Amino acid sequence: MPAKKSAVRRSPKARTTRKTYNLQEAKVIVETKGSGKPILLLHSEDRYERSAAFVEELAQKHRVIMPMMPGYDGSTLPDSIRSIEDMSYLYLDLLDEMNLQDVTVIGFSVGGWLACEIATKNDARLKKLILVDSVGIKNRGAYDRDIQDIYYNTFAKVKKFKFHDVKKDPRVLTDMSDDEALDEAHAREATARLCWDPYFHNPSLRYRLNRIKIKTLLIWGANDGIVKTSYARGFAKKIKGSKLVTISKAGHFPHVEQPQEFMKHVKAFLR
């Protein structure tokens, strides 16, 4: 869900700043919360992370940097960016531009894919990596559906793929205001543009995941119907030394369904 001003105000402790960066052809809005060691938060295509309570918690001890991915929530998506791989170069530019060091990257779903595209190219500014129900690779054969089709299935079915308990979905489409509906439309258009084909993955990425040398944690919802835990195991296998933890009673967004359990793993990994 787009970060509403009210959501930001709710927490008086973590100071939030908002800045727009001109990178390549794009205008990228970056929100920063709190201070301390930097965490780069790469949101999912559903953008639940931006107003989530766990971000406030992270911001108590860290500087949480949340770019709005071009195409989402006001950041512009130029014609020159046609894939998540294209997108990753923009983020490498952003890391340079902000002169960040020892960054922990945490990526959710498509954000996890983006994190891998960044880390496989240049990890000089990175320290640790957390992938949460990440997409981005294909493990199995041509006839296997590794990543569930969110476009072919009914909205109700897709919700079931995404959530262990559908009542925990913070977004009810029919309750959206006109502005929220338009934001959501733009976000879904951006996702389709970047992820329709090849479907939510880069066929080459799995062959270069070996380049990820930083400490990596994969967090997965045990009931994720979009990318199953078997997919997660395949993912983890490709990143040497990585650790995979699953969270029960959670689907594609464990940080939404089981935030405490989720934070327990994150905090332990950040220590």
Partner 1 sequence: MEFYHFTEFAWPYLPPDDEFTSMRVSLPSGVYDPTIGSDWYNMCLDQHVLADELGINCMINEHHQTATCLNSAAPLSVAILARQTKKARLCILGNPAANLRDPVRNAEEMAMIDNISHGRLECGFVRGVPYELFGSNCNPTETSPRLWESIALMQKAWTTHDGPFNYEGRWVHKRQVNVWPRPYQEPHMPIWMTGGSDVNHATRSVENGFTFTMFLTPTESMKKMFTAVRANLKKKGLPKPADDLFAFMPLVAVGETEEEALKFIKQVFWYVTNNKAEPQFRAPPGYVESQLYANFLSGKFSGGRTDAIRTKGMDYFRENGVAVYGTPDQVVAQLKKMYKQIGGFGNLIAMLHSGDMPYKNVAKSMTLFAKEVVPQLKDMGTVSSKVGMLKDRGRPVPAAKFKGRTDALEAARAKTGVEVRSPKKTRKRAA
* Binding region for partner 1 (CB under 8 A): 79, 151-155, 173-174, 176, 178, 181-182, 184-186, 188-189, 191-193, 196-197
The DSSP output letter for 62 is: E
The single residue listed with the structure tokens 């960044």 is 118
Q: How far is CA 50 from CA 65, 96, 198, in A?
A: 11, 23, 27
Q: How far is the CB of 187 from partner 1 (least distance, A)?
A: 9
Q: Give the three-state DSSP class for 67.
A: strand
Helices (H), the chain: 5-9, 53-59, 84-97, 110-121, 155-162, 178-195, 229-238, 254-257, 259-270
- Looking at the Cβ atoms of 13 and 144, the one nearer to partner 1 is 144
- Looking at the Cβ atoms of 196 and 207, the one nearer to partner 1 is 196
- Looking at the Cβ atoms of 5 and 175, the one nearer to partner 1 is 175
- Looking at the Cβ atoms of 17 and 174, the one nearer to partner 1 is 174
- Looking at the Cβ atoms of 181 and 268, the one nearer to partner 1 is 181
Q: How far is the CB of 219 from partner 1 (least distance, A)?
A: 27
Q: How far is the CB of 185 from partner 1 (least distance, A)?
A: 4
- Looking at the Cβ atoms of 97 and 189, the one nearer to partner 1 is 189
CA distance 91 to 110: 14
Q: How far is the CB of 173 from partner 1 (least distance, A)?
A: 5
| E-state strands within 1-76 | 16-23, 26-33, 37-42, 62-67
Handedness of CA 78, 80, 83, 85 (dihedral sign): negative
Q: How far is the CB of 201 from partner 1 (least distance, A)?
A: 14
Q: How far is the CB of 178 from partner 1 (least distance, A)?
A: 7
Written as six digits, the tokens of 105 are: 């990257």
CA distance 14 to 37: 14
Q: How far is the CB of 149 from partner 1 (least distance, A)?
A: 9
Q: How far is CA 102 from CA 44, 88, 129, 201, in A?
A: 22, 18, 11, 27
- Looking at the Cβ atoms of 9 and 152, the one nearer to partner 1 is 152
- CB count in 10 Å sphere of residue 166: 12
